[in-house]
Amino acid sequence: MFSRSRLAIAVMAVSAALAQADDSSPRNQPTLLNQVTVTASRVEKSQQDIAGTVTVIDSEQMEKDVVNDIKDLVRYEPGVSVGSGGRSGLSGFNIRGMGENRVKIMIDGVDQSKAFNPGGNYLTSKRNFVDIETLKAVEIIKGPASSLYGSDALGGMVAFQTKDPADLLQKSGDDTHASVKAGYESADKGFTETLSLANRTGDLETLLIYTRRDHKETETHSGADIYGSGRGKADPLDTGLDNILAKVQYQLNDAHRVGLTGEYHNAKTDAKPMSMNPDGVTGKDEKTRSRIGFSHEWQADLALFDQASWQLDWQKSETEMDTRMPAYEADFGPGGKFPYPNRLQEYDYSENTYQLNAQFDKQLTLSGLDHYFIYGLNVSKTDAENNNTSNNLDDGSVTKSSYIPQIDVVNYGLFAQDDIQINDRLTITPGLRYDRFKYDPKAEAGSPTQIKDAKDSKVTGRLGSVFKLNQDLALFAQFSQGFKAPGFHEMYYTRVSHGYSILANPSLKPEESNSFELGLRGNYRLGSFEVTGFYNKYKNFIQSVVVDETKNVSQSQNVAKARIKGIEFRGQLWLDEAINAPEGTSMRVSAAWADGENNETDKPLDSVAPLKGVIGLSYDAPSEIWGGEAIWTVVQGKKKSEISDKTDFASKGYGIFDLTAYYKPVEQLTLRAGLFNLTDKKYWIWEDVRGRSADFAGLDRYTQPGRNVSVSAKWVF
């Protein structure tokens, strides 16, 4: 059903049509390169002026694509994926083959908690603590971004921006906004209700958004409804989520603006992990994120800076998983069989963070060249803690332990960047950052004994350039560096179990990356396109290594080097002018291919996703009353030659069709619907099944939903 040649034909068609565009009368509609990004360069810029690849998905596009969670968010974004996750929720982002904590995630400039996975279906903390209804935009930087944002931006970053009162109000004057939205998803039998309120009275602006979600497990396409690892249906879940965003912003005078933000995200889940042994396991989980932040913007017009912005935030993220397990006998192979009593396992992981961010901007002319200079600092202090309690329900005994000690982490970074306008065609942007981090573990009863302080520092740089060949076409190139400080679990995770042991390693070095990127983009009256080639090198990769085979002892070590190369394309074409289609008709095409290799083993890097392409044909009526889009997503199968272990499951290629539509019967009411996987295709996403054996009996449990629908209605008062 899928071949690279078909996708190449679509890509060439868009590029050729744009190359023939007549630019005598610019079109009013925005193209994909006209969107504004703030994260990619820390200053407000159009995407077409960025020396790198960044995707901006605004709230309007989220509405059109009927997005309900972060997996839906990147559904049509090749090169980026989100794993399913099951009981513990959706996993983090994978960008160009780098995932989990190697991708930085921020909400309003605040670093999000780390993923912590000591093992098992009842010991997992993920990073999905955001609700789509509160977002005005998401910016995805593809490639290292540590020169501006520090650790964890090894493979890229995802920056969530929550809505401000001004996003819901008229541009000026006193105003009030109120809206209600309700939706349903058949894939997880989910109901969503959102209330949004905003007000401007004089110089005071306020905002309140409350969302309630109730849903079951996300269905699989097919499979056996049985207990045990061979189960083919998703494990039953029942989740209720409350999310609140509140903001107060006040314009003190022409020079000063202050703001106060509060967020609360709480999800409670009743789980029945039927795929676990023994039968009858039940769970109660709770995930919470709370944040309070203060911000200040100052239009100073001083010699050192024209404007300054700073914010101070407190944030706490916590995952609690309680699992009730009947008595059973576990088989540990060489370790023999071990009888477990009837017990209640209580797992808790939390991060409590204070973070200060400050940035200063200065525009000036030196030696006839225009400079836009930014500099600033980031300081954070995080207390991370893991506590485990095993309650023996047969004899009443209680055992307390932790896989990592309580850790105090202090990070600070200093950064500077200069955007230099050489002439009306050439811009050069150098940047430099210094980061230092320190881990201070606390020895307590029940905590691991292999602990000691650890500290390190890193300097990262970036050099980017955009050269305009003419008013429509531009070349861009970038060299950027990234790094990731060793994670808590990698440095301090200690576990002695039946048949195996895991040792801590406080001497780990940061992981590092160097990225080279070259691209061509065109922005025409009929649309726009961008094609990018990249080559990324990584070293000091942290992997688990067996240090004693006879006793089955392993430890995290800096042992791996890797490289990932690839090419990406995205384009948009207004068909109404290109081929005289009905007014409001357009097409979007995007594709991403990457190839990765572990240079230590000369084997493929399994974290790299297969070739993916998206073709969408959309129509928006000139009256803006109705519209829709037909989207074809094609993914190439994973070849055995592209997998490090040839006995692993190789996901098959697939093509799926989606339809989305909206209708506004009256100005205040918007109805939306999405019909997904129209042909009821059975398929797997590579991110969900990589590392699974080809003969694993439970593969059907990782299939994606069959034909499903999502609908919503929004009324604006």
Q: What is the pLDDT of residues 442-461, one digit of tens each?
A: 876 555 555 788 899 999 99
For residue 392, the number of C-alpha atoms closer than 13 Å in the C-beta half-sphere is: 10
362, 306 contact by CB (below 8 A): yes
For residue 636, the number of C-alpha atoms closer than 13 Å in the C-beta half-sphere is: 22
Handedness of CA 557, 558, 561, 566 (dihedral sign): positive
> What does the pLDDT average to over 79-103?
88
What CATH number was assigned to the domain covering residues 4-716? 2.40.170.20
**305-332: per-residue pLDDT in tens?**
999 999 999 999 999 999 999 988 877 6
- pLDDT at position 8, please? 52
Q: Give the range with max mean pLDDT: 146-150, 377-381, 596-600.
A: 377-381
Domain-by-domain residue ranges, the chain?
4-716
Convert 5-37 to b/e letters by CB count within 10 Å (16 or more is b). eebeebbeebbebbeebeeeeeeeeebbbebeb
Q: Which two tokens stand for residue 7?
A: 């996708």
Predicted confidence band of residue 2 (pLDDT cuts 50, 70, 90): very low
Rounded to an integer, what distance in angstroms lies between the CA atom of residue 79 and that of residue 140? Answer: 11
Q: Is the pLDDT of residue 31 over 70?
A: no
Q: Is the pLDDT of residue 206 over 80?
A: yes
Q: What is the mean pLDDT of the chain?
A: 90
**113-151: per-residue pLDDT in tens?**
988 887 666 788 888 899 999 999 999 999 898 888 988
Measured CA distances, 563 to 52, 141, 483, 591, 608 (Å): 19, 18, 15, 20, 11
Name the percent of the chain lying above pLDDT 90: 68
For the chain, the helix, strand and coil percentages under 3-state DSSP, each to the nearest 5: 10, 55, 35
502, 514 contact by CB (below 8 A): no
**469-507: per-residue pLDDT in tens?**
998 899 999 999 999 999 887 888 887 776 678 888 888
- pLDDT at position 24, please? 45
- The CA-CA-CA angle for residues 540, 542, 547, to 5°, reads 110
- pLDDT at position 504, please? 86
Q: Which amino acid is residue 661, in one-letter code?
A: A
Phi-psi region of 223 (alpha: psi -120 to 50; beta: other; left: phi over 0): left
> For the chain, first and last CA: distance in Å?
47
Q: Is the pLDDT of residue 285 over 80?
A: yes
For residue 398, the number of C-alpha atoms closer than 13 Å in the C-beta half-sphere is: 5
Q: Is the pLDDT of residue 615 over 60?
A: yes
**430-440: per-residue pLDDT in tens?**
999 999 999 99
**48-71: per-residue pLDDT in tens?**
888 989 999 999 999 999 999 999
- pLDDT at position 332, please? 65
- pLDDT at position 340, please? 84
